[in-house]
Structures are given as structure tokens and as C-alpha cells.
């Protein structure tokens, strides 16, 4: 998921970066505004240990590990491959090795990489590295992160694989153009009218944990739409729902306790479960946040202006109810459906009912959740229902060695005994939507096929490669015209 998000961003970046003329390199305003830290980290023997502990905590909250550690690689040694339609981008080795990593970085250089996307040698990073969110980080937090990476991370001398994109995207200077458009190089500024807790939540959500990177919709140029903050966005084949304070379209109808439980465990009875990118964010990062930080995020989410989807009447979690076991077993199907092995009812009883029960009520204790009063089946989009069937659910919660796993098998793989065709998945999804979920939503086999191949591509990624340079040329002409028009207007004034 991370991967897909980065892909979209990178595509946009590359296409646009090349389009824009090199711009002024803004320098950061020298503000140091550290939001209140409600609780001191675990008691430590001395100040040094406390600083390392703070840095470690920040690295987890920012989920640096997600991208900078390859599947079975050493921590932070890089190598994780991020696919972009223009080539593969590898996250680099950020261990303190002078040979392979960032051991030679000064704190100022580290800060510049994190918040402005510029390496020690002056070259520009691709925005697959989320420096647009990290730009908000305070100097104190960047300092603690630096201290942690330099002193507590095991050095690895082997450099990560080199990123080699084809011309013209290998010209890193072109990222300056993208930055001029999209990098709001401002540190976090606390809102004096809001409580310390809400400010802390805003800092965590917008900066470190970058919720908006997934939950805020983007425009055609892949920039986040400010007026739609956290109003929900497609992420490949998944959908990051609206988490504004709206009672119907957002999470205004969830209690504080429910939202906090979701962020800590990814599972709330009668509301929803976390799969896809949210499962990753919870497993690697959010579950380890201190309770007061989670409470701060919840308090902040309450202040996010409500965004109501046009025409939506009911909250996603309020749809559906159990059907009787007997009706469920018989398939409660129409006469034609009953005789077909591919009817949704028959497939559901064969592939899903063993866990979610024939009535759809799930198991006692809800380790296998009910499919009604579930945001995946009650949403205005079938994305998370279809993606859960295709890719399953996998989420580990708890300390290493004592994790509890939520696991639903995936049904998209030919090699598995349980693999389902696009038609079969569409039938099951339609049955589930009609019986337990939002009956106004339906799924076609073509929709499933698209989800299987990663969902709808962003406009920029759908353009054939040869069009990109043409578009770039057109944009350059447009910009030249704009500049000319503005200068003419100014000279008239």
C-alpha cells in the first residue's frame, strides 16, 4: 500500500518535476516550536538514554522502517523497492555507516533530507520519501531522530541498490520544480486557539504519522485537496475512508473509545477492521503510540471540518443485520440463483460462512467479524469489500513474540486451492452487499478485474510514456505564457 501511494506520488512528481522550471529554493524559517509532550518517555538512567528513547519513538511514529527496511533485510539498510511506471525507486541505507549509509551526514544535512528532500551531496530526493509531511517536524524532533539514527541503529556498510530511472527522470534537479509546487516548507505552527492536546494530535497526524497522505483526496496533479482534508481517497484498489468529523460520511458517529481502539488494534466491533495500508500503519507504527498520543490524535480528528458525501443518508457502519441461519444456509436466493453453483449465496456458504457464519454475524467474540454494521460492506464504495476478498486481511498486534494475528486468506492466487474468478468474487460481493451491507452498491466482474490489477491508475500514470514529454512541452509553453501575461499586467499597474 505504501508502495502504491508512493507510486502515485512519484508518477506525479516525475511528470511535473520535469515540467516546471527550476524555482527558488526556499529556506526554512528558523522557528522552533515543539508542541507539548504530554508524557515523558520511559524513565531513563540519564539524559542520553532519554534522548535515544525519544528518537526511537519518533522513528516508529513516522514509520521510517516501512520503506527503509527490505523484506528480510537488516533494519534501515534500505533496498525496499518502490515501483513507479517510470522505473523502480529504492529506499536508501540510512544506517550510520560512513560507507553505505548516512554516517557522514551532519545534523543539518539530515534535517534538510527529512524536511526538504535534499541529500548531503545536494542532489534532490524523489518524493517517494515523504518529506512533504516531515517538513512539519520541529527542530527538536529532527535532532532526536538524528541522535537515534547515529547512536542506536546498527551500521550496515553495504549500500542499498541504486535507483536508475531513465532519462529525463534521472535528472534529480527536476524535483526542484515539483517542490516549488507541492512542498509547503513550513514547520508545524501550533494554533493558539486550540488546546495543547489538539495541537499535539495535529502535529502527529499531519506530520509524523501522515494520515492525510492516504486519507485526503488528490487532484489531477496528485496534490492533496486542502478543502477536502481527510475526506477519503482511493489507494490503488483499497479506499481510505472519510475520517472527518461528519456523523454520516465520516467518523463523527464513532465514540472516542472506538476510534482509539481502532488505531491501537485495527478492530472495533460494530464499526470496522483494518486491512491493506491501514493494517500496515497500525502494525508497524500506530499500535506503539503512547495512549496520550492516541488520545491527542482522536481529539484532533474531532476538529477536522466535516465533509458530507453528496446524497449519503446513512453511516457506513449502520447498514445491515443478520439473516436467519436457516435462510442463510438455504441461500435465501432467488429461484434462478439457487440452481447455479456460481450464485453468490452458494459461493458465500462455501468460501466465507465457515468464518463469518451463514447468518453473517461472525464468530462468538467477533475474532471473525460480523459482515453487517461493518464499514467495509456498508460504505458507498465496494473497494474494501472486494480488496479484502482478493488480498485478505493480515495484521499482527502486540509485542514481538506475543502477537495476536488477525488473518483472513486471500482469494486472488491461482496457486491456492481457494482461488476465485472475477465473476465469482463479483457474485459473492453482490450477495454480501444485498444481505448485510449497502444494497445500493453493486460490483461487476470488470470492477474486480481492475481491483485485482491494483485499482484505477492515477491519470498521470495512465498516459502512455511518449505523451509525457509532449505534455511537458505543452506545460512549459503554458507557464511561459502565464509568466508573460503576469509581467505585462504588472507593468501596466
Footprint on residues 400-429 left by ligand HEC (CB under 6 A): 406-409, 411, 428
User: Is residue 304 within the footprint of ligand HEC (CB under 6 A)?
Assistant: no
SS3 46: coil
Strands 233-235 and 404-408: unpaired
Which residues between 185 and 214 bind ligand HEC (CB under 6 A)? 205, 209-211, 213-214
The answer to whether the CB of 201 falls within 8 A of the CB of 245 is: no
CA 408 to chain centre: 21
Report which of 303, 312, 293 is spatially closest to residue 243, judged by C-alpha positions: 303
Among 12, 60, 77, 129, binds ligand HEC (CB under 6 A): 129
Q: Which residues contact 117 (CB under 8 A, 6 or more apart)?
A: 124, 125, 126, 127, 129, 131, 132, 175, 179, 183
User: Is residue 352 within the footprint of ligand HEC (CB under 6 A)?
Assistant: yes
Question: Which letter does DSSP use for residue 316 in this model?
Answer: G
Please give the radius of gyration of the chain, using alpha carbons only, rounded to the nearest integer.
24
Looking at the Cβ atoms of 54 and 68, the one nearer to ligand HEC is 68
Looking at the Cβ atoms of 19 and 280, the one nearer to ligand HEC is 280
SS3 422: helix
Number of residues forming the site for ligand HEC (CB under 6 A): 83
Among 16, 18, 20, 64, binds ligand HEC (CB under 6 A): 64
Residue with cell 531513563: 44
Looking at the Cβ atoms of 5 and 57, the one nearer to ligand HEC is 5
Q: How far is the CB of 300 from ligand HEC (least distance, A)?
A: 8
Report which of 408, 391, 442 is spatially closest to residue 267, judged by C-alpha positions: 408
x-marked contacts with ligand HEC along 309-328 as a string, rule CB under 6 A: -------x------------
Which residues between 80 and 109 bind ligand HEC (CB under 6 A)? 82, 89, 91-92, 94, 102
Which residues between 143 and 172 bind ligand HEC (CB under 6 A)? 145, 163
Looking at the Cβ atoms of 209 and 346, the one nearer to ligand HEC is 209
Which residues between 247 and 276 bind ligand HEC (CB under 6 A)? 251, 259, 262-263, 266-267, 272-276
x-marked contacts with ligand HEC along 365-404 as a string, rule CB under 6 A: ---xx-x---xxx------xx--xx---x-x---------
Which residues between 212 and 251 bind ligand HEC (CB under 6 A)? 213-215, 235, 238, 240-241, 243, 251
The set of cell numbers assigned to 320 is: 445491515
Maximum C-alpha span of the chain: 80
Report which of 163, 175, 129 is spatially closest to residue 19, judged by C-alpha positions: 175
Amino acid at each position: 500500500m505504501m508502495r502504491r501511494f508512493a507510486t502515485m506520488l512519484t508518477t506525479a512528481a516525475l511528470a511535473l518535476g520535469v515540467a516546471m522550471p527550476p524555482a527558488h529554493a526556499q529556506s526554512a524559517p528558523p522557528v522552533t516550536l515543539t508542541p507539548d509532550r504530554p508524557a515523558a518517555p520511559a524513565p531513563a538512567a540519564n539524559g542520553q538514554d532519554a534522548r535515544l528513547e525519544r528518537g526511537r519513538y519518533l522513528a516508529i511514529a513516522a514509520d521510517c522502517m516501512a520503506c527503509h527496511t527490505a523484506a528480510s533485510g537488516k533494519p534501515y539498510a534500505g533496498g525496499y523497492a518502490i515501483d513507479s511506471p517510470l522505473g523502480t525507486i529504492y529506499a536508501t541505507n540510512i544506517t550510520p555507516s560512513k560507507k553505505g549509509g548516512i554516517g557522514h551526514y551532519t545534523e543539518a544535512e539530515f534535517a534538510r533530507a527529512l524536511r526538504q528532500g535534499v541529500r548531503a551531496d545536494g542532489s534532490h530526493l524523489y518524493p517517494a520519501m515523504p518529506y512533504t509531511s516531515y517538513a512539519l517536524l520541529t527542530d527538536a524532533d529532527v535532532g532526536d531522530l538524528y541522535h537515534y539514527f547515529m547512536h542506536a541503529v546498527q551500521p550496515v556498510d553495504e549500500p542499498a541498490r541504486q535507483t536508475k530511472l531513465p532519462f529525463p527522470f534521472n535528472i534529480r534537479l527536476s524535483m526542484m520544480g515539483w517542490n516549488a509546487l507541492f512542498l509547503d516548507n513550513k514547520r508545524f505552527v501550533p494554533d493558539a486557539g486550540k488546546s495543547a492536546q489538539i495541537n499535539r494530535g495535529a502535529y502527529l497526524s499531519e506530520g509524523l504519522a501522515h494520515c492525510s497522505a492516504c486519507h485526503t483526496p488528490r487532484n489531477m496533479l496528485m496534490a492533496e485537496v486542502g478543502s477536502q482534508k481527510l475526506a477519503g481517497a482511493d489507494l490503488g484498489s483499497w479506499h481510505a475512508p472519510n475520517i472527518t468529523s461528519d456523523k454520516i460520511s465520516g467518523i463523527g458517529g464513532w465514540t472516542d473509545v472506538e476510534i482509539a481502539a481502532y488505531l491501537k488494534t485495527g478492530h472495533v466491533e460494530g464499526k470496522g477492521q483494518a486491512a491493506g495500508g491501514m493494517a500496515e500503519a497500525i502494525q508497524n507504527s500506530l499500535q506503539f503510540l503512547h495512549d496520550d498520543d492516541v488520545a491527542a490524535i482522536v481529539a484532533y480528528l474531532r476538529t477536522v471540518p466535516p465533509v458530507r458525501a453528496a446524497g449519503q443518508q446513512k453511516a457506513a457502519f449502520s447498514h445491515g443485520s443478520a439473516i436467519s441461519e436457516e435462510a442463510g444456509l438455504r441461500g435465501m436466493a432467488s429461484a434462478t440463483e439457487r440452481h447455479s453453483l456460481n450464485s453468490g449465496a452458494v459461493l458465500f456458504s462455501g468460501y466465507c460462512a465457515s468464518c463469518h457464519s451463514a447468518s453473517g454475524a461472525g464468530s462468538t467474540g467477533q475474532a471473525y467479524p460480523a459482515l453487517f454494521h461493518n464499514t467495509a460492506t456498508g460504505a458507498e464504495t465496494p473497494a474494501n469489500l472486494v480488496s479484502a476478498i482478493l488480498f485478505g486481511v493480515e495484521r499482527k498486534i502486540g509485542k514481538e513474540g506475543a502477537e495476536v494475528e488477525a488473518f483472513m486468506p486471500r482469494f486472488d492466487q491461482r496457486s491456492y486451492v481457494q482461488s476465485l474468478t472475477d465473476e465469482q468474487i463479483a457474485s459473492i460481493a453482490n450477495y454480501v452487499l444485498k444481505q448485510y451491507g449497502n444494497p445500493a452498491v453493486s460490483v461487476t466482474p470488470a470492477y474486480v478485474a481492475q481491483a485485482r490489477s491494483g485499482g484505477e491508475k492515477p491519470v498521470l500514470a495512465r498516459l502512455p510514456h511518449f505523451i509525457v514529454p509532449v505534455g511537458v512541452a505543452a506545460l512549459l509553453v503554458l507557464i511561459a505564457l502565464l509568466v508573460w501575461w503576469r509581467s505585462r499586467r504588472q507593468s501596466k499597474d
